[in-house]
Chain A
Amino acid sequence: DSGVTQTPKHLITATGQRVTLRCSPRSGDLSVYWYQQSLDQGLQFLIQYYNGEERAKGNILERFSAQQFPDLHSELNLSSLELGDSALYFCASSVTGTGKETQYFGPGTRLLVL
């Protein structure tokens, strides 16, 4: 158990809909990362937050947005969903978010868009 929690574990929705994925980092970790894992794209970095502020942005679509709240939990919002958004979404956390830190991954949220 990494100490990172993600809810829900599974999500099934329809095209065009909007969903919110939630992540709670390990106790004491200030930085949160979001990743998308799909068969065709592999593991893609989406976005990173540190203590409530966006720190780095990767291959995140404009239809996707995220935020980190004062209690340090984070939410990833996916809107206007398409079939291709079906994937496993991981959240990870680290203490201060520097490049050499270990990231601790949650178990993921599996999203299926029908």
Chain B
Amino acid sequence: AQSVTQLGSHVSVSEGALVLLRCNYSSSVPPYLFWYVQYPNQGLQLLLKYTSAATLVKGINGFEAEFKKSETSFHLTKPSAHMSDAAEYFCAVSRDTGNQFYFGTGTSLTVIP
């Protein structure tokens, strides 16, 4: 079985500070990994994804994530937080076999002016 764990349900950063949202996965084989963002009263939107190509993945809005197989991690980072980054962030994992999609419990990001 595969699953994904997001450490920290709430993260607060100052505007301009580094954003680091943590995600660890458990999977018997390297999975596909995703970060989605959900703004209030909206659906989820893809930030970036890892599909076994480059381990450092760049996404929209200045976000990036690095796939580290040895640490089974896929942490999301952004060098400088902006007020508009305040949202809920979800890490997700999937595989071709079974085609199920597992989401983490989400991390709510607050950006302090």
Contacts and interface: CB of A to CB of B under 8 A. Distances in A.
A107 B49 contact: no
A97 B49 CA distance: 15
Interface in B72-113: 90, 94-106
A100 interface: yes
B28 interface: no
Contacts, number: 63
Interface residues of B, number: 26
Given A42-B106, A100-B94, A56 B43 contact: no
A45 B101 contact: yes
Contacts of B45: 2, 105
A103 to B, nearest CB: 7
Which of B36, B43, B102, B103: most chain A CB closer than 10 A? B43
A56 B102 CA distance: 12
A92 B45 CA distance: 10
B99 A43 contact: no
A56 B95 CA distance: 12
B32 A99 contact: yes
A107 B43 contact: yes
Interface string A35-52: 100000011110010000
Interface string B57-77: 000000000000000000000
12 contacts: A43-B90, A44-B103, A45-B100, A48-B101, A55-B99, A99-B31, A99-B94, A99-B95, A99-B97, A100-B52, A100-B94, A104-B46
Interface of A: 2, 4, 33, 35, 42-45, 48, 55-56, 58, 90, 92, 97-100, 102-108
Interface of B: 31-32, 34, 36, 42-46, 49, 51-52, 90, 94-106
Closest 7 CB pairs of A and B: A105-B43, A99-B94, A100-B51, A43-B103, A99-B96, A56-B99, A105-B44
